[in-house]
Amino acid sequence: MKKLLFILAIAVSTKAYGAGTDDPASLSKVCVDQLSGQIQVNCSTSMNMAFISSGTIPSFAVLGATTSSNAPTGRIGEYMESKSNGNNSCPTSGNYGDATSLTLTPGDWDVTYILTGARDTATWSRLDAGINTTSGNSSADLSLGENFVTFIFANTATAIENVYLSVPSYRVSLASATTYYAKVRCQYTANLPVYSYRLSARRVR
């Protein structure tokens, strides 16, 4: 398949650029951009280029960025984030709420959710964090140890001031745009616990 794609690229590109398709020397002008993966004709040497010297596209290491710029939308490495360091009030005790959400476009993503709960003036006993595609008071598709974590402690606890939960690198593969919600659930009997959060996603394919 790689050889066929290469031949097609040469046939189209050399015609567009005016190089002779029967000229073996034209191969020295064909290369692959190691950052974008695109085949280029009449390219010049640079640190990102891998020259093609045969009918097979060579293997090469994909280079990382050397600046602080963001990956373009739709490219590997694209990053999305929603966060709050403020004191967000927990939903009604025992109910799930949405801390935030991200709408991800088609592709493969690693989604990470970090939730920090604080007792503040509350008497509390539980904090849950999860990632799913259902908004509101719903635990649909939450699976402990996969996209859901919980911390349960002594009833009516006041000694535990802060709880830190994380759902790291939850992999999702999408054929269409989908919204993912950062779920939060608190169990308490008096006053309101508060929380801060970060929901982030990195495109891996």
- The pLDDT tens digits of the residues spanning 137-180 come to 999 999 999 999 999 998 666 789 999 999 999 999 999 999 99
- Distance set, CA 112 to CA 88, 89, 129, 156, 201 (Å): 19, 21, 11, 30, 6
Question: Which domain, by its residues, includes 85?
Answer: 79-203
Is residue 193 situated within a structural domain? yes
> Domain for residue 60, yes or no?
no
Tokens of 180: 């993912």
The model carries a pTM of 0.73
Residue 90 shares a structural domain with residue 171? yes
What pLDDT does 168 receive?
96
- Are 94 and 43 contained in the same domain? no
Residue 164 has a CB neighbour count (10 Å cut-off) of 11
Q: Per residue in 140-152, pLDDT tens?
A: 999 999 999 999 9
Asked if residue 186 and residue 99 are part of one domain, the reply reads yes
Q: Say if residue 128 is in the same domain as residue 37.
A: no
Asked whether residue 196 is assigned to any structural domain, the reply reads yes
The values of phi and psi at residue 24, to 5°, are -60, -25
Is 144 contained in some domain? yes
| Contact partners, residue 66, CB within 8 Å, separation at least 6 | none
Place of tokens 């503040």: 120
